[in-house]
């Protein structure tokens, strides 16, 4: 379902909306949800910058299930928020590239992930805020 709803280039190509499913960053791969989130070198660099145990073998839903068993317990209360913040900003950066031809600069995307997380911090429960400060 996630793969159909997110309008990456492979989905749009299958629907006949666009002629090419190539990753907009020119890495030579098809742009799938998995590619956008993990296997594109730019996505991998963002995950790496945060030091998260994310592998190109994962699917997005794994981040909310099996990966949680691998992360430090101090991260558990805020893990979902951190993951969504990163995925959201990868999607935003991709859209800026596709629609406005804005370059994907890893430190800038990392900073945007951090800013999103700080903004969302204010909606967290107190116990989550305590975990975020660790």
Q: Does residue 27 touch Zn ion according to CB under 5 A?
A: yes
**DSSP-derived secondary structure letter, 115:** H
* H or E element at residue 99: helix 76-100
Q: How far is the CB of 8 from Zn ion (least distance, A)?
A: 11
Q: How far is the CB of 21 from Zn ion (least distance, A)?
A: 11
33, 37, 40, 63: which one binds Zn ion (CB under 5 A): 40
The residue (of 26 and 72) whose beta carbon lies closer to Zn ion is 26
Q: How far is the CB of 12 from Zn ion (least distance, A)?
A: 15
118: Cβ contacts below 8 Å, ≥ 6 apart: none
Percent helix, strand, coil in the chain (nearest 5)? 65, 0, 35
The two tokens of residue 70 are 């691998």
Q: Does residue 110 touch Zn ion according to CB under 5 A?
A: no
Q: Does residue 83 touch Zn ion according to CB under 5 A?
A: no
Q: Does residue 47 touch Zn ion according to CB under 5 A?
A: no
């Amino acid at each position: 379902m996630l793969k159909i709803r997110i309008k990456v280039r492979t989905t749009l190509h299958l629907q006949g909306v666009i002629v090419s499913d190539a990753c907009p960053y020119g890495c030579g791969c098809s742009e799938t949800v998995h590619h956008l989130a993990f296997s594109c070198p730019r996505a991998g660099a963002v995950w790496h910058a945060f030091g998260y145990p994310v592998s190109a073998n994962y699917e997005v839903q794994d981040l909310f299930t099996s990966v949680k068993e691998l992360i430090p317990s101090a991260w558990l209360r805020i893990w979902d928020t951190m993951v969504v913040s990163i995925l959201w900003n990868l999607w935003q950066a991709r859209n800026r590239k596709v629609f406005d031809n804005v370059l994907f600069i890893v430190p800038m995307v990392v900073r945007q992930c951090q800013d999103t997380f700080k903004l969302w911090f204010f909606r967290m429960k107190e116990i989550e805020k305590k975990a975020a400060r660790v």
